[in-house]
Structures are given as C-alpha cells and as structure tokens.
Amino acid sequence: MEILDVRGIQHSERPQIILEKLKELGKLEILVEVKPVPVIVMLESKGYTCKATQDQGLWKVKITEK
C-alpha cells in the first residue's frame, strides 16, 4: 500500500490530495500529526474504510475501498 506523508502539506489542502490519490490507487496509508477525524468521516461517507492507529506520536490511517 502506498504511503502518503501529509505533514508537509497545508491542513486545508489535504482532503483534496488524499482523495486524488485514492481515486488513482484505490487504497492508501496516510501519515499525519493528529487523528484526522473529519477526513475519516468524509471518506467513510464516500465508501472507504479507515483504520487509524497511533505510533510514537504519529497517526497512520489505512484507507481501503469497502
């Protein structure tokens, strides 16, 4: 699964970049500073499954199609 580190990207640019990657790849793992609750809710409403885990202060969210 491709890993996308969004920590260098502005907060407001992230949803679009994540969605573009998902449309292209179908699944994705993102690395993020804080649990991206609103993005997870948005992705789940669009038919994706999100599994968020915390590892040494970093959040990893695995996103797959349902």
- List interacting residues with other proteins (CB under 8 A): 7-13, 15-16, 19-20, 23-24, 33-34, 37-38, 41-42, 46, 57-58
Minimum distance from CB of 26 to other proteins (Å)? 12
| CB distance 44 to 50 below 8 Å | yes
d(CA 15, CA 12): 7
Residue closer to other proteins by CB (options 1, 44) is 44
d(CA 14, CA 40): 12
Minimum distance from CB of 1 to other proteins (Å)? 19
